[in-house]
Amino acid sequence: MTSVIEVRGLRKAFGDHTVLAGIDLTVERGEIFALLGPNGAGKTTIISVLTTLVHADEGSAVVAGHDVHRSPDGVRGRIALTGQSAAVDEVLNARENLVMFGELSGLSGRAARHRADELLERFGLTDAAGRRVATFSGGMRRRLDLALSFVVQPEVLFLDEPTTGLDTRSRRELWHVIRELAGAGTTVFLTTQYLEEADELADRIAVLSGGTIVASGTAAELKERVGGDVVELRDAAGALLRSEPTDGSLAGVRRAVDLLDASGAEGTVSIRRPSLDDAFLALTGDGLPVKEDA
């Protein structure tokens, strides 16, 4: 595969607070790449640097063949960005938003109207084309926001926590749209606070903590770093009381159950595989220990 984003030694501080302390990452063309990290870890700062909105203090970043510092216009002409809130005009209807954005992007009036109709159909908004955006649900606004990003087809789509505030149904509808965009050849770089979202969507994931990338790989690879199965003890209401790691063998399960039994707590025992939540907490220093690489 060919890389479309290359970041090396990226550093950024705001006053005395260092947000990025030497970021290295690569994103391959056509993949969905998810960046995870605790709140305030610097996820939005990385996107801001890669989309030319913020200058890094040190390091280099190349997006779609263009250096973000030396050739910002080249980068901007090949990317689209959807931030944490929908950037749509609520007074206009959906079609008017798209036509206006198309004309601002250099399309003729006729071409802008044609493109608007294409995108309304592609993003499932044809029936709502004439409705004012102020009447849209959160999920519909998000789909329109994404449609605006595709008035001019981008090579790379940056999504900064795109499903924040959406209900479960709207979030899953948006996942479907994102998969379709990636399937059509667009590279997707997203940040998210929902680990399930990264697990569901991403081809690869990077975990940001303490200003650096502490791990990267597929969801399965990150889960494997936590170790084997986990034996859990839960009370009658389902609340987790204790947990013990195990290698999954009969002897390992027995040892874990004995340790739980020795705690004196009463409850129901179950076994589960490590989740991406486990991996995230372990990698960011608040969970099960991470397995050392061989």
How much is the average pLDDT of 161-170?
80
Give the residue from 32, 62, 64, 30 showing the smallest Cα distance to 49: 62
| Amino acid identity, position 291 | K
Pairwise CA distance, residues 189 & 202, whole Å? 9
Q: Supply φ then ψ for residue 147, to 5 degrees.
A: -60, -40
**Structure token pair of residue 197:** 């979202």
| Amino acid identity, position 245 | P
pLDDT digits (tens, 9 = 90+) for 130-142: 999 999 988 888 8
**93: Cβ–Cβ under 8 A, 6 or more apart, which residues?**
129, 130, 131, 132, 133
**Structural domain boundaries in the chain:** 3-217, 228-273
- DSSP assignment, residue 290? P
pLDDT-derived band at 227, boundaries 50, 70, 90:
low
Q: Supply φ then ψ for residue 33, to 5 degrees.
A: -115, 125
Please tell me which residue, 227 or 66, carries the higher pLDDT value: 66
Examine the pLDDT at 200 and tell me if it is beyond 60: yes
CB 123 within 8 A of CB 70: no
Burial label, 228 (beta-carbon count in 10 A; 0-12, 13-18, 19+): middle
Which residue has 């889960």 as its token pair? Answer: 223
Q: What is the pLDDT of residue 167?
A: 80
pTM higher than the cut 0.85:
no
| Amino acid identity, position 161 | E
Q: Supply φ then ψ for residue 236, to 5 degrees.
A: -65, -25
Kindly state which CATH superfamily the domain 3-217 is placed in.
P-loop containing nucleotide triphosphate hydrolases (3.40.50.300)
pLDDT-derived band at 286, boundaries 50, 70, 90:
low
Q: What is the pLDDT of residue 293?
A: 40
